[in-house]
Amino acid sequence: MSTKETIDDSNGFNSLLSRRDMLKYLGMATASGVLNLSLLKELQALTLATQPKEIRPNIIFILSDNCRWDHLGFKKHPFIQTPGLDRLACEGVVFENAFNTTSLCSPSRASILTGTYAHTHGVKNNHTAWTGSKTTFLEYLKQAGYDTAFIGKWHMPGKGLPEMPFLDQFVSYTYREGQGSYFDCPMLVNGKPVQAQNYITREVTDYAIAFMQRKRMNPDGSKRPFCIYLSHRSAHPPYKTPADIKGMYANAKVDLPPEVDAWFSKAEGNVFQGIMTSSYENQYRKYCEVITVMDRDIQRLLDKIEALGLRENTLVIYASDNGMLWGEHRMHGIREAYEESLRVPFIVRCPWLIRDPGGRRSQMALNIDVAPTILDLAGIPVPKDMEGISLAPSLGNADVPGRNAFLVEFWKYFPENTPTYVGVRTQTHKYVDFEKGRIPWLFDLTADPRERINLYNTPEANKLLPELKSMLKGLQEGKRY
């Protein structure tokens, strides 16, 4: 890991205390009689355990699509089964307050890659082309000597897939506006067309495993670490599952919000969400099924990491690009600033740093934090233009303070009927201002976690709004809270 002298970021874990300094202070404490030798040995072991066995860890970032934060087995969902992600949660930590900052595929994905808000990287909606004006964390890793792979859904507008020469492997698809398909997906493997042979989550996982298994030695005999960005199509509609999973939840009791009904999938433009056929309940069941299929392949990947002996020095992060509304507030899909759409699952397994596997973290984690966290844990200075923060300190210590607020942004995306909005989400409140068509929202998330009561234009709101508006302005200007 880099020493303190080489780090020039204010939010990296290494800026707190370097390993060298720790050992120096422990030695001084022992010499002065403050610590006895046996305690020193314990503390030294603890210090050494914060580092991976090899200098730079391998990194696997797994991204799902539209997967809700609460649709996981360990979150006590009524029926969904996700043993792979349950295992990851047991062996790592779960960030219980993780969010995306723009609830739409392309902007959120660009935020994950660049560590910046959408107004910075410029991919404002799924019609805005990716220009590559911001450097991705994959490119930084490549510069630092990593082998890098992007495997799966890219889905950012532009002419086909971008040129990314810093990738050693680029496996993706442009079919169906970059959404691909669950079966028979036409893919591009390093620019060459290839037909997928298997169900897409299996196919991309196979590519990831093959990449992991590659021999990677530097000329001096040292091993090169790798980073895999594995981006699943699940759980994007239209939902299709392999025969052995199809119908798995056919008899599950589905408890959708009371405001929806079987015909909801046809109403209010919801057909454009890819749910033209069958009832809303059946669509929901299929959504859960594709999550389970994806989880099966995640489990397979974790098994392979184990089998290859890579577990102890491989960072694994799982997240989703955004959540999903399934009828709450009589709305379907993503885009909205409601919690169901903003919240994302976020699990980190970092064996050399996490002291409490299975633990939970309450710090707010954002999609823009993925890049700084990965770079920080790889021992690479976090670029100053990244707007996210490294979550590494909170991995080792659940009590490290986190941020108090973040910016929420959205730009209208034709033809989905959500107006452009901007807002601030604090630990306790959410304020959202719309460009047109709706009055602003103000929710007290402590008293009203389901966001049923809009406090805007109430006396309570009048007390809170000045501070929230000031915070919003500050966030838009680049301040952190």
The site for other proteins (CB under 8 A) is made up of 124-125, 127-129, 157, 176-177, 238, 258-263, 266-269, 271-272, 330, 411-420, 436-438
Name the minimum Å distance from CB 202 to other proteins: 22
How far apart are CB 125 and other proteins at their closest, in Å? 6
Q: From 425, 323, 465, 380, select the one nearest 143 (Cα to Cα).
A: 380
| Dist. CA 451–CA 232, nearest whole Å | 30
* Nearer residue to other proteins within complex by CB, 177 or 356: 177
Q: Which amino acid is at 399?
A: D
Rounded (10°) angle between helices 19-31 and 37-49: 180
Task: Indicate the residue among 51 and 417 with the shorter CB distance to other proteins.
Answer: 417
Least distance in angstroms from the C-beta of 195 to other proteins: 15
- The letter for the amino acid at 342 is L
Q: How far is CA 163 from CA 35, 124, 190, in A?
A: 56, 20, 10
* Min separation Cβ 27 and other proteins, Å: 58
Identity of the residue numbered 337: A
Smallest gap from residue 19 Cβ to other proteins (A): 46
Angstrom CA distances, 443 to 232, 401, 480, stand at 33, 24, 21
Selection from 346, 293, 336, 340 nearest residue 63 by Cα: 346
* Residue whose token pair is 């089964």: 81
CA distance 391 to 86: 21
Q: Using the minimum distance from each CB to other proteins, give the nearer residue, 272 or 481.
A: 272
- 408 - beta bridge partners? 423
Nearest to 58 by CA among 214, 227, 218, 211: 227
At 120, is the secondary structure helix, strand, or coil?
A: helix
Give the nearer residue to other proteins in terms of CB position, either 269 or 449: 269
14 or 172: CB nearest other proteins:
172
Answer whether 100's CB lies under 8 Å from 336's CB: no
Minimum distance of other proteins from residue 272's CB (angstroms) = 8
Query: Which residues 6+ apart lie within 8 Å of 60 measured at CB?
Result: 208, 212, 227, 228, 230, 301, 305, 314, 315, 316, 317
Nearer to other proteins by C-beta: 64 or 265?
265
Report residue 127: phi and psi, to 5°.
-105, -10
Least CB distance to other proteins at residue 334 (A): 14
Residue 107 beta carbon to other proteins: minimum distance, rounded to whole angstroms: 11
Q: Closer to other proteins at the Cβ: 21 or 259?
A: 259
- Rounded to the nearest angstrom, the gap between the alpha carbon of residue 348 and the centroid of all alpha carbons in its chain is 10
CB count in 10 Å sphere of residue 213 = 12
- Please state the closest distance from residue 419 (CB atom) to other proteins, in A: 4
Q: Which is nearer to other proteins, 156 or 371 (CB)?
A: 156
Report the residue number, 264 or 287, with the smaller CB distance to other proteins.
264
